[in-house]
Amino acid sequence: MGSQLYNMSPNVGSASFLELWSPYLMLLTMFLAILYFLITGPLRNRFANSAPATTKQKCLFVFALILFYTAEGSPISYFGHHYLFSLHMTEQSLLYYALPPVTLLAMPDWLLDKIFQPKLLKSILRFSTHPVLATLVFNTLFSFYHIPIIFDTVAGNNLWMMAFHVVLLVSAFAMWWPIVSPFSDKQQLSGLKKLTYIFANGVLITPACALIIFASNPLYHQYILGPQLFTNLDPFSDQRLGGIIMKLVQELVFGSVLAYVFYNWYREEKQEDMSMEQQT
């Protein structure tokens, strides 16, 4: 245990409860939960004459809120921003690879249809979620963000970091939209195209992870100059661990979605073949 304990410098031990647990984000998370259950439950007829959210959708939305608060409101965010690059990459993995698909699967199609009912928003949605544009924008922004000089500049300014994270999160939702959009009959890709799209995203994110994992020296001054939390985890090892975490989470999520999409595509193709055989 001794090698894993904090090097308790004054800066490390001075974090307040507000900094570690962000009650403001906790309140926001609770507000979003109440709002969702009201709109998809007793108040839904004021927005659309539709069925309430299913139990599965409600559970997924709660899970999405847990992911959101864990990434942004828990000590993962605080220590990831100030001390450990590996925790920073854990936060990003949750935000960009786990949160968007879970959230989209939790949304009834009529709710999103109501949100994007204005023509301008609908046009923006259609343009920003085009598969080629969506995957290029997200992966380019993600790779761009992890160029050392850009990362250190953004990390040194809380407002810039917050803005960049919002842009990345929005682009992540756009990237996931062609795969898990609730509008399955209009804006999702077909089976084989989904497989190609997921594979392309896995390939495009690889250079950014490889840059971090296989770098010959520490890249980010934010963590090189900061205090170390663990005596056996120097900034270089922490950097590599962060790249590995990001790549593993990305592979796990994309691999799971790939298997699910392939299974559904195979089942649909088999059902179509059986229907044609019965007709003949």
Give me the pLDDT at residue 12, please. Answer: 57
Question: Which range, of 3-7, 73-77, 136-140, 141-145, averages the lowest pLDDT?
Answer: 3-7
Question: Pick from 107, 123, 235: which is nearest to 176 by CA?
Answer: 107
Q: Pick 133 or 43 by higher pLDDT.
A: 133
**7 pLDDT tier (thresholds 50, 70, 90):** very low
Give me the pLDDT at residue 266, please. Answer: 77
**pTM score, two decimals?**
0.89
Cα(209)–Cα(254) distance, rounded to whole angstroms? Answer: 15
Question: Pick from 69, 76, 74: which is nearest to 90 by CA?
Answer: 76
**186 pLDDT tier (thresholds 50, 70, 90):** low
Give me the pLDDT at residue 15, please. Answer: 78
Maximum mean pLDDT: which of 29-33, 77-81, 156-160 = 29-33
Tokens read off for 5: 């304990």
User: Amino acid identity of 223?
Assistant: Y
Domain chopping of the chain, boundaries = 17-279
Q: Is 191 exposed, middle or buried (0-12, 13-18, 19+ CB in 10 A)?
A: middle
**Rounded mean pLDDT of the chain?**
88
Whether pLDDT at 131 is above 80: yes
| Segment 175-191 mean pLDDT | 78
In the numeric block, the tokens 């990434």 are attached to 71
Cα(212)–Cα(191) distance, rounded to whole angstroms? Answer: 33
Sign for the pseudo-dihedral over CA of 131, 135, 137, 138: positive
| Per-residue pLDDT tens over the stretch 137-182 | 999 999 999 999 999 999 989 899 999 999 999 999 999 999 988 7
Ranges assigned E (strand) in 58-112: none
Question: Pick from 27, 23, 187: which is nearest to 107 by CA?
Answer: 187
Give me the pLDDT at residue 6, please. Answer: 36
**265 pLDDT tier (thresholds 50, 70, 90):** confident
Give me the pLDDT at residue 236, please. Answer: 96
Whether pLDDT at 11 is above 60: no
Give me the pLDDT at residue 184, please. Answer: 58
Cα(160)–Cα(167) distance, rounded to whole angstroms? Answer: 11
Q: Are 72 and 91 in contact (CB under 8 A)?
A: yes
Give me the pLDDT at residue 66, please. Answer: 98
Q: Are 39 and 108 in contact (CB under 8 A)?
A: no
